[in-house]
Amino acid sequence: MDSIDKMIRKLLIERFPYETSGELWGLEQEPSPLSNKEKLFQKIATQQVDKSEVTEIDFDYLINNLEAVDTFMQSQLISLVKDSDAEPDVKEKATAVLQALDDAAEDKLVSRQTFTQPQIRSAPADVGDFPDEVSTILDSLFSPGTGFTDRIKKISEISAFYYELSKDPERMSDEELRAKNNSVFISEIMLLEYLAEIVNSFDSGSGGYLFEYFLALLSGGRVTGKESGPGQGMGAVDFRTADGKAGSSKYYSSKGGIGQAKGGFEVGEAVDYIIAIKKQDATQVGSPSRKGGADPARIMALDIYYLKVERKSKNMFRVENFDGSGSRHKAEGREIALSPFINDASFFSTIYIAETRTKAFREMVYKSVSGTVNAMKEALLKNFESFFVELENAEKNCKQFAASGDLDHGSNTINSLQYAEQSFNRFAEKLTNADTDEVPDFVDLSENKSDFSLDKMIKEVILSTLNK
């Protein structure tokens, strides 16, 4: 049988039209690939030192470095697999890359996305009731009077800082991170966590409602999405900021088909639209025409677009960008189309959720603090995460103990609480000792804890309680 590189060279010569549907692999209405395979193999070849030809090594490299497989390459590989004229061995290699990408998405979906896995309860948000720690986090990051759009811009800048640092092999921002106050550092991570959980841990249907929740949380306001508009249908206003300004959110995988029923607008009330377009890789970021995908496991960033929409009369609207530029627009039919206004002029910022679509938020942050310069920050994070992991283990075992009376679950509960205490003490020490250069210790979550035994008296207390 011919070698794979020989078969590929044969394919490079051939040109033919083909189309792709990437839904099987988590893509959503990706643009059809170009009508030849040459660019695909050129792109694959660039992954290795020898860029003159494509071999098995190149495909194996992609399997072990999935971040190199962007959505364009993925769509091309899908088409190659579906091509009846492609050589079986080449299709097999392409299939292996796609399967590895699919497996990575599944692994990410069931893995821990964030450090604290923050509690998200959307119902109380209707009255502006958010977890108690939220106000503390916001107060530590934003000065009094910071406007809503300034807060979005700031959280975008924070996310970009950790994203760029995680991708920087020269570690140019290490000293900037090292100088960052520890409490501010942790507050930044905790605020980003809320959005990361919403994006990666909830399905696309829930994500839209929870994006409203996040914007209301960020603005210090409340969710109003259930309120009816002047036409007695669903109102255009999804949330109100702390100062009562009307806001609306859209959460889509592409800019197509985004609109708002005209009956939801009050005449004379401007509504700030925050439109998030989900992105799967860096090649899609900042481009309104590049479609993302609905699969939460594959989202790594949100492109944010801003529009101010005000109803002037029955069918006349004014649509403005953030800089105040805009125009009057006559809305035909029952709704005003917003998609035509989602362009470079309305682009506001990008919020990064992960370094790549195959990695979780916490992995991006850990990578950003890796290295000797930020050993303190890394240890701080590990103890911070360890505390919440052990509390979750304690809660799980306590519920199992309560339901079954099994002493092992009772012992595990106490065990986890003791580990949580150790983690907290180490975290607290590092949080308050920001100026030391000493490389600190941390709780290793991977170490075997089976040797840890409870005090005999504690076991006797549990047993005594059960006997009663």
Q: What is the pLDDT of residues 159-189, one digit of tens each?
A: 999 999 998 867 778 889 999 999 999 999 9
User: What's the rounded mean pLDDT across residues 439-462?
Assistant: 47
- Please tell me the predicted confidence (pLDDT) of residue 436: 46
**364: helix, strand or coil:** helix
- Please tell me the predicted confidence (pLDDT) of residue 84: 80
Domain spans, the chain: 4-110, 123-363, 372-467
Burial of 57: CB neighbours in 10 Å, binned 0-12, 13-18, 19+: middle
The yes-or-no verdict on residue 155 having pLDDT over 80 is yes
pLDDT grade, residue 234 (50/70/90)? low
Those residues whose C-beta lies under 8 Å from the C-beta of residue 171, and which sit 6 or more positions away, are 165, 371, 373
- Please tell me the predicted confidence (pLDDT) of residue 51: 57
User: What's the rounded mean pLDDT across residues 304-320?
Assistant: 94
The yes-or-no verdict on residue 280 having pLDDT over 80 is yes
End-to-end Cα distance, the chain: 76
**416-428 per-position pLDDT tens digit:** 999 999 999 999 9
Task: State both tokens at 255.
Answer: 């800019």
Q: Greatest CA separation found in the chain?
A: 82
Under 8 Å between Cβ of 61 and 48: yes
The yes-or-no verdict on residue 203 having pLDDT over 70 is yes
pLDDT grade, residue 363 (50/70/90)? very high
pLDDT grade, residue 404 (50/70/90)? very high
**19-64 per-position pLDDT tens digit:** 333 333 344 433 344 434 556 666 676 666 655 566 777 788 889 8
**135-149 per-position pLDDT tens digit:** 999 999 999 889 999
- Give the C-alpha separation, 53 to 337, whole Å: 48
Q: Which of 26-40, 146-160, 195-209 has the highest mean pLDDT?
A: 146-160
Instruction: Tell me whether strands 270-279 and 246-252 are parallel, antiparallel or unpaired.
Output: parallel
Give 3-state DSSP helix, strand, coil % of the chain, rounded to 5: 50, 15, 40
- Please tell me the predicted confidence (pLDDT) of residue 48: 63
- Please tell me the predicted confidence (pLDDT) of residue 227: 60
- Please tell me the predicted confidence (pLDDT) of residue 225: 65
Under 8 Å between Cβ of 126 and 224: yes
| Summary mean pLDDT of the chain | 82
pLDDT grade, residue 98 (50/70/90)? very high
Nearest 5°: phi and psi at 358? -95, 0
The yes-or-no verdict on residue 430 having pLDDT over 70 is yes
The yes-or-no verdict on residue 368 having pLDDT over 90 is yes
- Please tell me the predicted confidence (pLDDT) of residue 141: 95
